[in-house]
Amino acid sequence: MSYELLTNVVWHSLTGPQAGCSMGAATARRYARGFSPIVAFADAARPDFAALAPHCDPGEQVYCAGWSGPVPPGWQLHFEAPMDQMVWDAPVPAADSRGDVVRLGPQQLAAMLALVAVTHPGPFGERTPELGEYYGVFDGPQLMAMTGERMQAGALREVSAVCTDPAFRGRGLAARLVHHVVRLQLQRGQQPFLQVIHSNAGARRLYEQLGFRHHQQLPLRVVSRIDARQRSGAMSVA
């Protein structure tokens, strides 16, 4: 299995299988508004922020991986950290026999967004569930945990939005849901991968125990475009 697409997997997703969910230019693209606010460049070492700017609202924070150069004028940096990419390296997980894992759809969107608001699994928008299949486990009307799919490039398929409500942690729900999604991906002939902030050691240990191995580390940054009026105001005050 070749993993070369992983170095710029967002770009290959936005210009490949998920091009219909993207917007931008020939050198810079992003998921369309309503999806996860993630951007990518054709050449991450020489990012074309001028091409990206018309597609980002002032103050809108967007996520970008693989770029570590100077922040260009007109943009500001909010967060940066190393991010680990991990790929599945184990046999196909056994089927879950409990029968309580359910496919999430539009009727569960409010519950999904409420869980995301509590757990902060990463960039997640109202339309993010359209990028793949999402599964969860409920306790009555309460969505206790969920996991789904986001990026897709070639045979690579991302496992994403792994989150469990704090009140229901310790029950192995995340492990069960990750294995459920991985099993489906492997059955399709896809290669599961995921991404996790390096400092989240607990999550990395869990993913290793489940069957993922470390592939590479990339820089992750969150930036936003500065409103031109704010820049001119700041210059006049100075």
CATH of the domain at 135: 3.40.630.30
> How many Å apart are CA 38 and CA 62, to the nearest integer?
5
pLDDT of residue 227: 84
Residues 200 and 225 in one domain: no
pLDDT of residue 2: 74
Residues 90 and 200 in one domain: yes
Structural domains of the chain, count = 2
Helices marked H in the chain — which ranges?
A: 9-14, 49-52, 109-119, 173-187, 201-210, 228-237
Residues of the chain with pLDDT under 50: 233-238
Residues 77 and 91 in one domain: no
Two tokens at 141? 């009307």
Return the CA Rg of the chain: 18
pLDDT of residue 231: 58
What's the pTM value of the predicted model, to 2 decimals? 0.93
